[in-house]
Copies of this chain bind each other. A is one copy, B any other.
Amino acid sequence: MKKPFGSPGKASGLILRIGQCLFSTASIGVMTSASGFFTVTAFCYLIASMGLQVLWSFGLACLDIHALRFNKELHNHVIMSLFVVGDWVVATLSLAAACSSAGVMVLFTKDTEMCKTYTKFSCNLFPISIAFAFVSWFLVAISSYVMFWLVASI
């Protein structure tokens, strides 16, 4: 079977995993550098969720490097099923974290005057971190669809 774009053990798959790692790390970096983030549960959850995504994507990136280097075949049904479940859990948690943070951010900037009254909040940094989290989710969503497609068509 021809391997589709982004499948494990392929260069495009590795690029997707590296992208997920980079954007998740960037999201955590920007959020932790913003003052006042720890007072909002949604922002703390974003950091936890992005942390999980970094670990997951880094692990799979290492596996991809190993497969590319030694020309190994990763299209085993058990491994793929494991990847699918993991990818979907991580993707759902990432989307949930990004959306809950975005909801709070809209409340801070549009619905209330919290960003103006509470000057301790770094309201210019929160949206950047959330945007990185959405990009990271988008990349993991692509991987999830490719994995699910592969498992369903094996």
If over half of A's interface residues share one DSSP class (helix, strand or loop), that class is named, otherwise mixed; here it is helix
Interface flag for A81 (CB, 8 Å): no
- For residue A107, which residues in chain B have a CB less than 8 angstroms away from its CB? 40-42, 104, 107
Partner of A104, one of B39, B103, B148, B152: B103
B41 touching A106 by the CB < 8 A rule?
A: yes
Nearest B residue to A93, CB-CB: B99
How far does the alpha carbon of A95 sit from the alpha carbon of B100 in the complex, in Å? 10
Partner of A152, one of B40, B95, B153: B153
Interface residues on A, range: 20 to 34
Partner of A100, one of B102, B145, B152, B153: B102
* Shortest beta-carbon distance from A120 to chain B in Å: 14
How far does the alpha carbon of A148 sit from the alpha carbon of B152 in the complex, in Å? 9
Mark out the residues of chain A between 101 and 142 whose CB falls within 8 Å of any chain B CB in the assembled complex. 101-104, 106-107, 110-111
A106 touching B148 by the CB < 8 A rule?
A: no
B152 touching A111 by the CB < 8 A rule?
A: no
- For residue A11, which residues in chain B have a CB less than 8 angstroms away from its CB? none
Nearest B residue to A107, CB-CB: B104
Interface flag for A32 (CB, 8 Å): no
A95 touching B99 by the CB < 8 A rule?
A: yes
* Shortest beta-carbon distance from A44 to chain B in Å: 10
Interface flag for A5 (CB, 8 Å): no
B95 touching A41 by the CB < 8 A rule?
A: no
